[in-house]
A = this chain, B = another copy of it.
Amino acid sequence: MVVIMRPAASDSEVAGVVQRIEKFGMQAHLSRGKERTIIGLIGDEREIDFDSIAALPGVERAIPILKPYKYVSREVHPETATIAVGDVVIGRDLVFMAGPCSVEEEDTTLRIAEQCRRAGAQIFRAGAYKPRTSAWSFQGLREKGLQILAKVRQATGLPVVTEVVDTADIQIVGQYADMYQVGMRNMRNYALLGELGKTDKPVLLKRGDSAKLEEWLAAADYVARNGNDKIILCERGIRTFEDYTRNTLDLNAVGGAITESCLPIVVDPSHGTGRAELVAPMSRAAVAAGAHGLMLEVHDNPRLAWSDGKQSIVPAELERLIQDCRRIHELTR
């Protein structure tokens, strides 16, 4: 932490800051200029309350230097993590996850899963627990949906990823899924993240739609600190003033996450755009930007999808998209 004192700060105000820093068991370094004094804190500032220093008299501004995360930082882990989901390894080769937004009736779900597999997808995705903005919308098939997912895995051999929305559901979802998904609404549900940190299944952590990169990585630390370091980041767009698209897909965050963190990152252009016609170009763009994989909403009859039909692509589009992305990945690796 760097503490910038006001030009008019008195000697006793400067001494007050130094004392507070030392009370926390850390060291203070003074730099007295003509106009103002600057104080550097040496030690792990994450363990003290930032405001307890920023609010001291005479302080103009206190600036954090350390990131609010440790475990998932590239500084600590220089190598990108590789994470196995069934037989699929994320963080090494390019991985495609695909499926409908919601788990639907068994035969529909199985049929779409088989189409996704043939198109080249390696992991099946579909929601059994659906957090929806309106309490009046379809909320998912819940346990019945999980059972259908198990049948998909059996029939297709594809591992499955599905969302978990409450600590009370972790156990049952874990019985059926190969990877937990934390949706954007729950990125800051630290109770949920902490409990997932006690499991041994991979966790796909979607970015909250108002989360800065460093807050997202700090959320990942809640999982990692409890012992589970199998975390995959998923960029799915942030909320901005632009309403042409459902969200603003922030591909800057792909490069940023790779720079700052050891975790693999995948991109969800379905939610990131909300428009089927933009899914293919933004998938290619995500791979060109360095993403380790993609998560895609696919339906063989989007207008009959139980949710999110407007952003679903059909299996034939998926196949072409996967081929294009693989070629771009070859070029840029």
Contact = CB atoms under 8 A, between A and B. Distances in A.
Nearest to A55: B309
A157 interface: no
A51 interface: yes
Given A46-B136, A255-B281, A54 B310 contact: yes
Interface string A168-190: 11000000000000000110111
B34 A243 contact: no
A190 B131 contact: yes
A72 to B, nearest CB: 10
A248 to B, nearest CB: 5
A243 B243 contact: yes
A249 interface: yes
Contact of A288 (B56, B133, B252, B288): B288
Given A189-B186, A225-B135, A305 B166 contact: no
Interface in A38-91: 38, 40, 42, 44, 46-47, 49, 51-52, 54-57, 60-61, 63, 65, 68-70
A109 interface: no
A40 B69 CA distance: 26
A256 interface: yes
A108 interface: no
Interface in A280-330: 281-282, 284-290, 302-312, 324, 327-328
9 contacts: A51-B307, A133-B218, A166-B192, A208-B210, A210-B241, A244-B253, A248-B252, A254-B281, A328-B328
Interface stretch (A25-33, A115-123, A144-152, A198-206): A25-33
A241 B241 contact: yes
A42 B210 CA distance: 35
This chain's copy number in the assembly: 4
A196 interface: no
A156 interface: no
B244 A213 contact: yes
Nearest to A269: B252
A2 interface: yes
Nearest to A20: B303
B221 A134 contact: yes
A114 interface: no
Contact of A214 (B49, B60, B244, B259): B244
B38 A134 contact: no
Contacts of A188: 131, 185-186
A60 B327 CA distance: 34
Interface string A225-255: 1000000000000111111110011111111
B51 A42 contact: no
Contacts of A256: 244-245, 278
